[in-house]
Structure formats: C-alpha cells, structure tokens
Structure 1
Amino acid sequence: MLGIIFANCAVLSFTVMDAVIKSVSQVFPTGEIIFFRNLFAFIPLLAFAWWRHGGVPLKTSRPWGHVMRGVFGVASMFCFFLSYKLMPLSDAIALGLSGPIFITVLSVPVLGEQVGWRRWSAVIVGFVGVLVMTRPGSTLFDVNALVPLAAAILYAAAMISIRKLGATEPPTTIVFHFTAFATLASLLTIPWGDIDPAQAWVMPSGWGQLGILIVIGLLGGVAQIVMTMAYQRARAATVASFDYTALIYGFLLGAIFYGERPDIFLIVGGCIVVAAGIYIIHRETAVARAQHREPPIPPLPTNE
C-alpha cells in the first residue's frame, strides 16, 4: 500500500510539473526549460543520495550506454515539453501514454525478447486507441499530435536503453548520469532554444519567473525520488500500472487551470491506450514469473 501511495504521489508531482511547464512554455524556449528542470533536480537528488547512500555512485564501465540513454531521454523530454506548448495539456499527456506500446514493439528487434500473441494483440488495440485520439485523415487531425507520439517512441527507446544498462548499473548511477547529460545537452540549444529560431534563450525577468523554473526542477527531482521509493516497496508491474493515473490528473489540471475540455474521442482513445498498456504490463509480469526473473519494467519515467 505504501508503494502505491508513493507511486500516485510521484505521478501527481510529474503531472503538476507538466502543468507548470505549460504555464511558462510560451515565455521560455523548450531547451531552456529542460536545462532548469534538470539543474534544480540535482538539489533533492543529491540530498537523497547522501542520505541513503552517503554519496553518489557515478563510476561506470559503460559510458556509451549512458550516452545513448541520454540522447534518447533528452530528445523525448524535448518533444514532451514542446507538446505542452503546442497542444492542450490533457491531449499531450494522453498521447504520451502510448510509450509502453512502443516499448513492446522495440523490445523484439533490440532486446530479442519473445512477444506472444496476447501482447501483440494489446499493441494493436493500443494503436487503435491512438488512432481514435488523433483521427488521422479527418479534418480535425492536428499535425502537432505527432510531437507527443514522437516523444513516446523516443521514451520507449530510452527505456530499452535503461533495460540494457540495468543489467550492470545501479538505478542511482543511471539517474545521475542522465540528469547531468540532460543539463549539459540542453546548453547546446542556447542559440535557438526551440523550433522557432527567433525564440532563443531569455533571462528570467525577476524572482517570480526564476522561482517557477526552480519549482519545475524541484518537482521533477522529488518525483523521481518518490517513484524510486515506490519501486522499492511494491512490485514493478503494480507501480508501473499507476503511471496511467497521469491521464486523470492531466484532465483535471487542464480543466482547472487552462479551461480544457477533452472531447469524447480523446477520452475513449485514452482509455483504450491505458487498458492496452496495463494489459501489456500484466503479461510482462506473467512471462517474468514463468521465467523466474524480475519483470523488465522501466524503473523511472524519463518523459519528465
């Protein structure tokens, strides 16, 4: 029960962070938001590492593995944050939840995993849910919907990288290497900052804007810590299932703060994607038990 409580608190923190990011997405370019998101996340992450481990284990024998994980993770984060600028919050979150579907697809060629007909059926159902939300070919189709879908694919690639790294690297090492990589990589966007070349990095005008950027980083860091604690207290599949509560939180925050009203297509499609994702997690757990090993569920969300 404590693990479930931590999982919900972590997902809520990530979703609140997303809502705050949306509030400043028209002021600051995406690259700059990524920089502050990761820079100030170091504050709670370092405090937690020193409290629990007496230091930060940064030594690694697989530097290129961390680089690949960092590239996919930062690219995914960029697309996720950019989608909050281009779309309603609830739409972007709902489309982004298709990540586990793409993880299943990529696990076959990259990890050589065997995926049975049940999980392939869930993948197909999940794609139907995505089609319901995006309605391609209709006059209502929004090309911006491709941004959170790209984020979900890149998120899946990042999770596959974590699975490969997790065989030899502790979770704390993976998290800190990624946070450092994301902080440094975001500096490369200083000249342009966003898809709009005219929106280069801008200095925060006053303590109010700087405070918002600090809050974004602190929320992200605290959410990562609480999610880690959730995985330490409950089975991975149980915790991963609660990632989908982000859909509810996204709907509520979008309605309260941005006056968003999701249409029936988004609600129905989102529910289909959530159901497919939960079933995929269930099947991965069943297969893991049959093989007497831990289910390969990603330990930390990287879209935030």
Structure 2
Amino acid sequence: MASTTETDNFAARLAPVAGPAIMLLGMFMFALNDAMGKWLVASYGLGQVVLIRSVAALLILSPFLWHAGLKPIISAERPLMQFARVAFSTGEVFCFYYAVMYLPLADVMTYWLAAPIYVAAASPLLLKEKVGWRRWTAISFGFIGVLITLEPSSAMFTMPAIISIVGSVAFAFMLLTGRTLRGTPDKTLVFFQLLGAAIAGLIFAPFNWAPLNSSSEILLLCLLGVVAMLAHMLVNRALKISDAATVAPLQYTLLIWAIIFGWMFFGDLPRTTMLVGSALIIGSGLFIFFRERQLKARDTVLPAVPE
C-alpha cells in the first residue's frame, strides 16, 4: 500500500501537466458541443435547441447549486450588471447557433476567437484601463485578421457574417461585464447565463418547433447541454489548479478541433483567407494576453520598490 508521502509526491509530479491536460479536454468538449449544435440546428428550431440545451445544463448544475445554497444567487452583486451579462450571453448563444447553420464551423470559431481583441479595444472606454501602443498595434492586427477572414468583397456582409460579428462582439461584452463581477461565484454566473438562455429559448421555440420523433433525438439534444456543462467545469478546474498564463493560451486549440470536426462531419475545408486571418487573430490575442500579464506583474512589484 502506497504511503501518504508517495501519494503526495505523485500528485506534485502530476500537477504541472494536470492543468493543461484538463484545459485541452475542456476545449475538446467545447468544440464537440459546437459541432453537435451545428448538426442539431439543421433539423430543429434555433429556440428549441437553445431551450433544451439550457434546461439539460441547468439540471446538471442543480446539485452544485443546492450544495451552495440560494444565498449566492439571491444576494448576487450588482443586479443590473448581472442582467446585462445575461443579455449579452443569451444574444451570443443565439448568434452562434444561427451562424453555424450557414457558415463552416472553423469560420464561426475564428470570429469568436477575436473576442479578447474587442475586449482590449473597449476596456479603455468602459473599464478605464490604460492600453499602450504595443497592445493597440496588436489590436489593429487582430482587426485586420477579422477583415481578411471576412474576405472583403461586395458579398462580405452577408447576414450570417453580420450575425457572426454581432455574436462575437456580444461575447466580448459578456467577458467585459464578467470582469466587473469578480465577486460573483462561477456557479452563480453560469446559472444566470443558462437561465437567461432557457427563458429566451422558451419564448422563441414555439415559432419553429420541430417534432421530436425518437428518444435518441431527445437524448442528443439533452447531451448538448451536458457536454457544455462538462466543458465549463473542466475549464474552471484547469484555471484553479494551474496558472492562467499556462492554460489560457490553450483555448486556441478550439480552432484546430473546429477544422477537424468541420471536415469530418460537414465536409468543410478551411479557406486560405480563414487560415491567414485566424493566424493574425490568434497572434494578436496571445500578445495582448501575455502583455497584460506582464503589466500586472510589474504593477504588483513596483509599489514595494522604495522611491
């Protein structure tokens, strides 16, 4: 029987790889959720898919909420900001599933990966954060990447492309409002997010409800919510056991899985402009992320230095 010391040593050796491994698994689950969503919205109404997905996810989340009690939900900070975040998150979900009905999964994912660039661009105005010339340069390259992905032409502003941009901006504002709600527990934020999507799905589902002809179809729709909840839980766990600088850049593996799933399930091959644009977006996002980490570390150290 292994001793406690041996077990602790094994856990210590495993820790450096556990966080990245869990984050990679979480990204795989998110990509799988997106591919399943693209498959399902081809047969079922948009509101119907969002409704069943959200209810299934709420059922998975309910034991954790029960354990935490109702106080974190009832006494949540800044109700108006909570409502704004829910509105942005709900709009983002509907825009995403609408976009993947008409566009390749990798294209839509590329637009969504630009959200951190929008956050960096909006933070000086909305969060009063200072952004220097280096990050403004990275932001500019990120916007160029978005334009390249759009393939500038007379047909660039199709409705799916416009919805993709609107959805990615809504996602960015969801992230921005989340920055102002750091005191709210993750489970509470996810609960409000799912509840908002469920209510919106309940409103829109009757307008385009498709019959559920078999138990396997119901199971697949519910599985969409289960996979989404597992993805959220894996990512949150990865961020708790590893430094953000180690695991956050792994979010860009979403694009790799989107390309693979798009080819396997839908026969979509990535366009050259999408690959070039995504490279600029990912490079810009990584630079902004590590630059912000560098500045936060410097600001932490500076006050301790004697004048």
Amino acid at match of 2:22: F
- In the alignment, is residue 58 of structure 1 matched against residue 99 of structure 2? no
**2: distance between equivalents of 1:190 and 1:270?**
34
SS of 2:44's partner is: coil
Q: How far has the Cα of 1:140 moved from its partner?
A: 6.8
Residue 226 of structure 1 pairs with residue 242 of structure 2: no
> What is the match of residue 266 of structure 1?
274
Deviations 1:95-149 (CA, angstroms, capped at 9, x unpaired): 2211111111111111111011111111101111111111122567755222222
Q: How does 1:106-255 map to 2 (within 5 A)?
A: 106-137=122-153, 142-166=158-182, 168-192=183-207, 200-255=208-263
Structure 1 163/28 Cα, relative in aligned 2: closer, same or farther at 3 Å? same
Q: Work out whether 1:46 is the aligned partner of 2:65.
A: no
User: 3-state DSSP class of the match of 1:291?
Assistant: helix
Q: Give the Cα–Cα distance (whole angstroms) in 2 for the partners of residues 208 and 5 of structure 1.
A: 31
Bigger mean CA deviation after superposition, 84-93 or 171-180: 171-180
- Distance change in 2, residues 1:74/1:139 (3 Å): closer
Partner residue, 2:264: 256
* Structure 2 unmatched runs, 5+: 1-16, 302-307
Change (3 A) 1:84 1:172: same
Displacement, 1:256?
Answer: 0.8
Please state how far the C-alpha of 1:33 moved relative to its aligned partner: 1.4
The match for 1:22 is 38
Is the CA contact 2:99–2:108 (under 8 Å) kept in the aligned structure 1? yes
Asked if 1:32 is matched to 2:48, the reply is yes
TM-score relative to the length of structure 1: 0.87
Gaps of 5+ in 1: 193-199, 294-304
- 1:277 corresponds to 2:285: yes
Q: CA RMSD in A?
A: 1.9
SS for the counterpart of 1:40 is: helix
Q: Which position in structure 2 is the counterpart of 1:286?
A: 294
Contact 2:114 2:168 in 1 (8 A): yes
State the Cα distance separating 1:54 from its structure 2 match.
4.9
Aligned-pair CA distance for 1:79: 0.6
SS in 2 for 1:190: helix
Within a 5 Å distance, the mapping from 1:86-97 to structure 2 comes to: 86-97=102-113
- Contact 2:77 2:181 survives alignment (8 Å): no
**Partners in 1 of 2:156 and 2:56 — Cα distance?**
39
Residue pair 1:48, 1:225 contacting (<8 A) in 2 also: no
TM-score under structure 2 normalisation? Answer: 0.87
CA distance in 2, matches of 1:275, 1:8: 19
Letter of the 2:258 counterpart: G
Q: Is the 8 A contact 1:135 1:141 kept in 2?
A: no
The Cα of 1:212 is off from its aligned counterpart by: 1.1
Q: Give, in whole Å, the separation in 1 of the partners of 2:248 and 2:239.
A: 9
Q: 1:207-261: per-residue Cα shift (whole Å, max 9, x none)?
A: 1211110110000011111111011011223332111111000000011111111
Q: Which one-letter code corresponds to 2:190 in the other structure?
A: V
The number of residues matched between the two structures is: 283
Q: Percent identity?
A: 29
Query: Structure 1, residues 256-283: CA drift from partner, whole Å, max 9, x if none?
Result: 1111111211111111111111111111
Question: Is the radius of gyration larger for structure 1 or structure 2?
Answer: 2
In structure 2, distance between residues paired with 1:267 and 1:247: 10
Match of 1:195 in 2: none
Q: Which has the higher helix share?
A: 2
Is the 8 Å Cα contact of residues 79 and 150 (structure 1) preserved in structure 2? yes
Could you tell me how far apart the structure 1 residues matched to 2:279 and 2:77 are?
42
Partners in 2 of 1:180 and 1:187 — Cα distance?
Answer: 10
